[in-house]
Structure formats: C-alpha cells, structure tokens
Amino acid sequence: MKYINTIELAGIVGTCKETLYQENRRNVRFSLAVDAAESNTVATTWFNCSYWGNSIIEKGQSIHIKGRMECRRYTDSEGKERVFYEVRVHSIL
C-alpha cells in the first residue's frame, strides 16, 4: 500500500511574513483561512503555511495551494512539549 501526504486548499491569506535568505532564497510563512459550509453556517479553519519560492503572497489575496502536512515538535520556554502543524506549500495554482 502506498501512503500519501497531500493537501490542497483554496482560501484567503491572513498574516504574512517574508524572510530573505542568502542567494535570494525567500521563505514566506502565512496563515490561510478556508471556509467550509455546513448546514446554514460557515466555519472558517486557519492553516499555518510555509512556502519557499518566488511567487508574491500578500495579506487578503485569494490563493489555491498544494502541499503536504508536516508536524514539528518543540519544547517551549516553560519546558512543555508542543506540537506545531503546518502546510509545506509545493505549488501555488
């Protein structure tokens, strides 16, 4: 059996932070709001995303992304183990 870790989302960009690294490599970390209609209500889910590339990403922009979910563990300043999930974006459609 082949295991697949793929996610495809379309939504509105929330917060957005760009970091420029050596050799003009850009990393953009942003949040993405995705609405899901259930019955007569709309529920918004926020996803943390990370993208390495040259596409322009700005707050309020409507985008469609493909990537994979990634889980990272770290210990905070109080010594508690925390889990952080984010979408590693491979392409912006």
CATH number reported for the structural domain that contains residue 83 in this entry: 2.40.50.140
Query: What pLDDT is recorded for position 41?
Result: 78
Instruction: Let me know if residue 38 belongs to a domain.
Output: yes
- 10 Å CB burial of residue 12 (0-12, 13-18, 19+) is middle
Q: Does any domain span residue 1?
A: no
**Residue 88 belongs to a domain:** yes
Query: Across all residues in the chain, what is the average pLDDT?
Result: 90
15 assigned to some structural domain? yes
The pLDDT assigned to 3 comes to 85
pLDDT tens column, 50-88: 999 888 899 999 999 999 999 989 999 999 999 999 999
Q: What is the structure's pLDDT at 25?
A: 75
Contacts of 67 (CB under 8 A, 6+ apart): 6, 7, 49, 87, 88, 89, 90, 91
φ, ψ for residue 24, nearest 5 deg: 60, 25
Report the alpha-carbon distance of residue 3 to residue 5 in Å, rounded. 7
Asked if residue 2 is part of any domain, the answer here is no
The DSSP letter of residue 58 is: -
Domain count, the chain: 1
What range does the domain containing 11 cover? 7-92
Whole-model pTM: value is 0.81
